[in-house]
Amino acid sequence: MTRKTTAILSLVIAGALAPLLSSGVATADSTSRVPCGSGQVCIYPQVNYGGDPYVRRATDGSTSLGDKPIDNKTFSVINNGAERTARIYRSESYSGSRTCIQPGGKIANLQSYPVGRWGSSLKLNNDRCG
């Protein structure tokens, strides 16, 4: 091949690959999301359900998050439970500001909610939000 043919071929290949690379076919964001299974409550350390979540069965009891890596890093949440609400509290003792998530509900960014990113306990029960 001549230099001119090689240069033209390189431009053609680069032009063909450019749309694939810019379309986000395989981005880090799309591969880093961990799905929240049925019957689970998942609290994520990043907005838009990013990072490795803290996962708890919605049928389990309440728990302090103080000794868990997710403590004060509650950026998004999914409640895939069928009947129980999930309340995230700022205090480890289920007090202070809180945010309630209905069964089947989710919040992509908790920073604009009362609990913010500072969740320190999780209460799961049959009481409705409100």
Task: Say which residues have a Cβ less than 8 Å from residue 32's Cβ, sequence separation at least 6.
Answer: 50, 51
Residues 68 and 38 in one domain: yes
Domain match, 22 and 64 both: no
Does 41 lie in the same domain as 24?
Answer: no
CATH number of 112's domain: 2.60.20.10
CA 82 to chain CA centroid, Å, is 19
Give pLDDT tens digits for 57-98.
999 989 999 999 999 999 999 999 999 999 999 999 999 999
Classify residue 120: in a domain, yes or no: yes
Proportion of the chain above pLDDT 90, given as a percent? 70
Look over the chain and give the mean of its residue pLDDT values, rounded to a whole number: 82
Q: What pLDDT is recorded for position 1?
A: 57
pLDDT tens for 20-31 read 333 333 333 434
Same domain, 66 and 12: no
Is the separation of the CB atoms in 111 and 123 below 8 Å?
A: no
Q: Which residue range is the domain that position 100 belongs to?
A: 33-125
The reported pLDDT for the residue numbered 75 is: 97
Shared-domain flag, residues 41 and 9: no
- The set of residues, in sequence order, having a beta carbon less than 8 Å from that of 1 and lying 6+ positions away, is 9
pLDDT at 123: 95
User: What's the DSSP call for residue 36?
Assistant: P
Give the contacts of 94 (CB within 8 A, at least 6 positions apart).
62, 87, 121, 123
End-to-end CA gap in the chain? 73
Which of the pair, 31 or 121, is modelled with greater confidence?
121
Counted residue by residue, the chain has a size of 130
pLDDT of residue 3: 53
Task: Identify whether residues 37 and 19 lie together within a single domain.
Answer: no
Q: Is residue 48 part of a domain?
A: yes
Please name the residues in contact with 62: beta carbons below 8 A apart, sequence gap of 6 or more.
Answer: 94, 121, 122, 123, 124, 125
Average pLDDT rounded to a whole number, residues 42-46: 97
Residue 121 included in any domain: yes
Residue 130 within a domain: no
Q: What is the DSSP letter of 113?
A: S
